[in-house]
Every structure is written in structure tokens, then in C-alpha cells.
Amino acid sequence: MKHSELPSADGVWRHVRIAPGALAGDQAIEGDAAIVVAQGKIAWIGAGNSVPADFAALPRFDGRDALVSPGLVDCHTHLVYGGQRANEFAMRLAGATYEEVAKAGGGIVSSVRATREADEDTLYAQAARRLEQLLAEGVCAIEIKSGYGLALEHERKQLRVARRLGEAYGVTVRTTFLGAHALPPEYADRSSDYIDRVCQEMLPALASDGLVDAVDVFCERIAFSLEETERVFHAAKKLGLPVKLHAEQLSDMGGAALAARYGALSCDHIEHLSADGIAAMREAGTTAVLLPGAYYTLRDTHLPPIDALRAAGVPMAVSTDHNPGTSPALSLLLMANMACTLFRLTVPEAIAGITRHAARALGLQDTHGAIGVGRPANFVLWQLRDIAELAYWFGQQPGRTIVRQGRIAVEEATVA
């Protein structure tokens, strides 16, 4: 069903419990609470016995003591691509590393071939199925990167699909241009020429089409150098676009410190992040995006420096990194679980990682990732006793009612 045809969530949502950390600011409401939605926005939140009389005429929904969290935010995905790479999964199981697979002509470039071959509607249909899985868990905002086209028309095709998905599903989509994801085969040994093309042709054209909310680069030995990364950041800055970075995933390239100098929204992966990188991120207010799905799939053993990030007070987000190579994952809740189990995040940290800190990684901290008056109505009523259960169960969907962008997108028999 199209988002615009879903039932309106306008009304008084009674008998809910507000999960710790769910409200914008440092607010908390103990015990029975209510949320009022009017014209798709949160109009009031407070104790269940103090709903203002002005709202008496609105429809009522019975939350049956559900726990309410903000809508989830998946802040790093490569959701739009052609084909799949199960063959590489098998190669890696047989002992090949991610870098060896990439050097053998697989990896990102193999998804580029399949993405170039697919037309826009095919990419849309395939990505829509994936998006539906994420939305069914309560995702209300998502970042979608390009980076499997690596030529203007194909990057445009990916980003157009991302925008269309946002409109059709009533989910906030932030598009990120990742033209500097890998070197396309036609530029073999001409990395610098390709970066010129990214900076001078692709980025300005896509930005003027209104298709770019942020700019990302894969800064790595098997991708682009620090100097090339800076050229892309410089081009982004000239256009007034925020940057983020695939940083220090396989080695310490010094990418995080560079990104921080450009005021990056986030540095993502960061398994090999240095103390200098952490200090620079803290100074710049850059969010650390942890991607346990890629860590797990690559059977990585080099943990991101969680204790040092925590000690520095760098906000930590958690995301699926959904992509066909290193993280074919479509459950953000599973990532929260893995962030705890693999990375030793605390449960509140993991939950903040898929809500408020994820929103911040997208520059959406004023509208998403927390429930607050005046914000768009994005929240989830969970049939759970304890919010820790969000990170505890895995491989199952907890009972839930999802209010996305002012509409009831999934309903767990809560309506009185």
C-alpha cells in the first residue's frame, strides 16, 4: 500500500510507557504516558492522566502498556544495487580475503557491472523489497548511498531510485553520493583522472539535480588515497555539501582526522581508528558509525576502539551497512545485538546507536532519532517489558505498532 493510503496516526496514543532515552532533550516520563499526534506531528507528550482537554475530540488508540521508542534510523546503507555476490561469500569461506577478492576482479566492481546492466525500475523493485524488510522493524529514516554506478548516468539512476523509495514509502531518505567507492574498470591505472571526473562532472551534476544530501569516499588501500579523498571533500565543500567517510576499515589511513577537518557528519567502520583520529572526531563533533555486519561477514578480528571512543565522548551510531559484498544484512535490530555481543556496547549505547546517534550521523538530530513535540510522528510501540529486549532477541520480530511519518504503517492490534 502506498504510504499516503495508510491510516492516519492523528489522535491520542494512550497507555504507553516511554522507553528510557526516547525523548528529545533529557526528559523522561515514568509510568503511564500518552502521546498526541496532530497533522502528522507530535503535538504533546506527558503523563497519561494529564492529557489536555483540547485533545479530547481526537481519535484514541490504546497502546496496551507498550514501550515506545523513537523510529529507528539506519544511517549507512548501500541499498540500491544490481545482482548479488554469494560467490564471494563462498570464496571467502575457502580462505580468500576481501582484498584478494577485490583484486581478482570481484568485490565492488562486480556489483558495478550488475548495477550498470539493470534499468532504473528493476533496481527500484529490488531495493524496495529490501527496504520493506528494514521498515518492518521500525526504521523511519535511512541513508542510501550511490557508488555502484561509478559513471554519471548510473550514479544518477541509483540516487533517483533512492529518492523514489523515500516518496513511495514515506520514509526519510538521505542520499549520499559515493562516486569515489572504487575505481571503475575503464579508469584502470588512472585513479587521479577518475577523481577529477567525480569532482568536476559527476558531483556538480548530481548536486544540481537535487540528488545529493552528503558526499562519501572509500578511503583505503584498495580504494582511494588520502589525497584523493581530500579532493572529493574539497569539491563537496565548494557545493556546501556535508561529508562522511568510509574510514580506517582495513588499515589506518588517517582518513578520520582528514574527515574531521572537513567537519564530517560521520566516520564509518573505523576498526583501525587511531587516538589522533578519535581526538579529531571529538573536536569536530563527528559521529562514529559502527558496522558490526561488515565486521562479522569479513570475520574481522580487529575491534574498533570502543573504549577510547566512549572515554572521549564521541557519539556512536550502529548501522546495517547493507550491501551485497560485506554486509547483506536487513535487520537493524540484529546489528544492535551484534554491536553488544561483538563490540561490547552496552544495551543503552546500542539503542542510542540505532536512534539518536544514527540521526546525528545524518544531520537529522533535530527531527529524528528521538520523540519530541513538533517533530514528525515517527515512533514504535513495542510489545516488550524491557527496552533491553530490543538488543537481546535476535532472528525474530518483536510485536510492534509502527507510526511512520504520521501514519500507522504496521499495526499490532493496538487500536481500541
User: Minimum distance from CB of 161 to Fe ion (Å)?
Assistant: 17
- Which residue of 66, 321, 369, 381 would you call a contact of Fe ion, by CB under 5 A? 321
User: Minimum distance from CB of 133 to Fe ion (Å)?
Assistant: 18
- Which residue of 212, 294, 347, 352 would you call a contact of ligand NIG, by CB under 6 A? 294
179 interacts with ligand NIG by CB under 6 A: no
353 interacts with ligand NIG by CB under 6 A: no
Among the residue ranges 198-206, 226-234, 320-328, 347-355, the one whose residues contact Fe ion (CB under 5 A)? 320-328
Amino acid at 76: H
C-alpha grid cell for residue 241?
555539501
321 interacts with ligand NIG by CB under 6 A: yes
Among the residue ranges 165-173, 191-199, 232-240, 316-324, the one whose residues contact ligand NIG (CB under 6 A)? 316-324
Among the residue ranges 130-138, 186-194, 324-332, 376-384, the one whose residues contact ligand NIG (CB under 6 A)? 324-332
User: Minimum distance from CB of 171 to ligand NIG (Å)?
Assistant: 21
Amino acid at 224: F
3-state secondary structure (DSSP) of residue 247 = strand
User: Minimum distance from CB of 107 to ligand NIG (Å)?
Assistant: 5
Among the residue ranges 67-75, 257-265, 320-328, 366-374, the one whose residues contact ligand NIG (CB under 6 A)? 320-328
Residue nearest to ligand NIG (CB): 325
CA distance 415 to 381: 12
**Sign for the pseudo-dihedral over CA of 226, 228, 232, 235:** positive
What strands, in cross-sheet order, belong to the sheet with 41-47? 41-47, 33-38, 11-18, 60-70, 379-382, 400-404, 407-410
319 interacts with ligand NIG by CB under 6 A: no
CA distance 173 to 164: 9
Residues 377-396 that bind ligand NIG (CB under 6 A): none
CA distance 199 to 192: 11
Among the residue ranges 317-325, 359-367, 390-398, 407-415, the one whose residues contact ligand NIG (CB under 6 A)? 317-325
* Angle, helices 120-135/152-169, rounded to nearest 10 degrees: 40
In this structure, the number of other CB atoms found within 10 A of the CB of residue 235 comes to 23
CA distance 408 to 402: 6
CA distance 284 to 313: 12
Spatial CA neighbour of 262 closest among 279, 284, 247: 284
Binding mask 93-132 for ligand NIG (x = CB under 6 A): --------------xx--x---------------------
Amino acid at 395: G
Q: Which of ligand NIG, Fe ion, none does residue 326 bind (CB under 5 to 8 Å by kind)?
A: ligand NIG
CA distance 144 to 111: 16
213 interacts with Fe ion by CB under 5 A: no
203 interacts with ligand NIG by CB under 6 A: no
C-alpha grid cell for residue 393?
532477541
Q: How many residues bind Fe ion (CB under 5 A)?
A: 1
3-state secondary structure (DSSP) of residue 282 = helix
- Phi/psi at 377 (nearest 5 deg)? -75, 100
User: Minimum distance from CB of 111 to ligand NIG (Å)?
Assistant: 5
CA distance 377 to 319: 22
Among the residue ranges 133-141, 231-239, 323-331, 403-411, the one whose residues contact ligand NIG (CB under 6 A)? 323-331
In this structure, the number of other CB atoms found within 10 A of the CB of residue 308 comes to 15
Q: Which is nearer to ligand NIG, 170 or 324 (CB)?
A: 324
Q: In sequence order, what are the residues at sequence separation of 6 or more whose Cβ sits closer than 8 angstroms to the Cβ of residue 157? A: 115, 119, 120, 123, 149
Q: Which is nearer to Fe ion, 271 or 321 (CB)?
A: 321
Contact predicate 377/37, CB 8 Å:
yes
Among the residue ranges 202-210, 232-240, 318-326, 382-390, the one whose residues contact Fe ion (CB under 5 A)? 318-326
Q: Which is nearer to Fe ion, 42 or 294 (CB)?
A: 294
Q: Which is nearer to ligand NIG, 161 or 403 (CB)?
A: 161
User: Minimum distance from CB of 394 to ligand NIG (Å)?
Assistant: 21
Chain positions contacting Fe ion, by CB under 5 A: 321
Chain positions contacting ligand NIG, by CB under 6 A: 78, 107-108, 111, 218, 246, 249, 294, 321, 323-327
